[in-house]
Structure 1
Amino acid sequence: MASALRPAVRQVRPILSINESEARRRVFQLYKSWYRQVPYILADFDIPKNEKQCREKIREEFMKHAHVKDVRIIDMLVIKGQMELKETVNKWKNTPALMFYFKDTVEPKPTDFLSKFLASSQD
């Protein structure tokens, strides 16, 4: 007595946005809010960066998630971004927490024998 299996489709509730265009609008609003706050963040925190570097870093952080298409995930990322902005503007973060975004670039360690040998001889 095998019954025909039906694929179950589960309807999920949206978090903030109903469709992709609304989610996109929220992302742009958040991006503009961060962009506008850069001069104030630099005035409040003593970080060795200029406005251009900070705005490039904001763009880089947003572009990390450019591939995300699910509206619910986009909404969660927007909520997290809004919380980060609020913490930064209200000075609930300290300078090292902001500098965490500007991690030093680390050169990858050599893997082959000759590269390891040359790296050790330069020290």
Structure 2
Amino acid sequence: MTTIPSRLARVTQQSGSWDAARARTRSLYRQWYRAAPEIVSLYSLNVPAYSIRAKIREEFERHREVTDLSAVDILLLKSYQDLQEALNCWKMDSHIMRWFSKEEVPRPNSFLESFYLSRDDSKEVQPTA
């Protein structure tokens, strides 16, 4: 598969008003939303497209309360870059799966926690005396 780096390239823009920033944000959100099935197929992920879409929504919601217009422009630029990297296969599977790292169960700290979770990590976690 050949990648065309300029296919998704965007020129850095400054929003003149909040309406323009909202329109750019909606456009970017739609691009991410439509790209979710393509990301799943490109990286052969074992997660459905709706999980990717949920993560995208979560990221946009996390920055919902930003009140500085220049900060919004920077966030949009970074998100455009992230989308371009994802769709041009410039990321690795681990970069994509890092989006889901917060949802993983934390590893147990002691032998009893490991035992209660039915994990056999005896080489890593030593019983306390």
Name the TM-score, length of structure 1 as normaliser. Answer: 0.74
Tell me which amino acid in the other structure corresponds to 1:30.
L
- The equivalent residue for 1:29 is 27
After superposition, the C-alpha distances for 1:28-68 in whole angstroms (9 at most, x for unaligned) are 11100001111111111021110111111110011110010
Tell me which stretches of 4 or more aligned residues in structure 1 moved more than 2 Å.
Answer: 104-107, 118-123
Tell me by how many angstroms 1:122 deviates.
Answer: 3.8
- The equivalent residue for 1:11 is none
1:55 partnered with 2:48: no
Tell me which amino acid in the other structure corresponds to 1:81.
S
> Structure 1 vs Structure 2: percent identity of aligned residues?
34
CA distance in 2, matches of 1:46, 1:18: 40
Tell me by how many angstroms 1:121 deviates.
Answer: 7.9
- Shift in CA distance, 122/39, structure 1 to aligned 2, threshold 3 Å: closer
CA distance in 2, matches of 1:96, 1:105: 14
Tell me which amino acid in the other structure corresponds to 1:66.
R
CA distance in 2, matches of 1:120, 1:39: 36
Tell me which amino acid in the other structure corresponds to 1:74.
V
Tell me which amino acid in the other structure corresponds to 2:66.
V
Correspondent of 2:39 among 41, 46, 49: 41
Tell me which amino acid in the other structure corresponds to 1:101.
W
CA distance in 1, matches of 2:113, 2:36: 40
Number of residue-to-residue matches in the alignment? 103
Unaligned runs of 5+ in 1: 1-14, 110-115
Name the TM-score, length of structure 2 as normaliser. Answer: 0.70
CA distance in 2, matches of 1:40, 1:84: 14
- Shift in CA distance, 121/39, structure 1 to aligned 2, threshold 3 Å: closer
After superposition, the C-alpha distances for 1:5-47 in whole angstroms (9 at most, x for unaligned) are xxxxxxxxxx510111111111111100001111111111021
- Structure 1 or 2, whichever has the larger Rg, is 1
Tell me by how many angstroms 1:69 deviates.
Answer: 1.3
Measured on the aligned residues, the alpha-carbon RMSD in Å equals 2.3
- Shift in CA distance, 16/48, structure 1 to aligned 2, threshold 3 Å: same
1:66 partnered with 2:64: yes
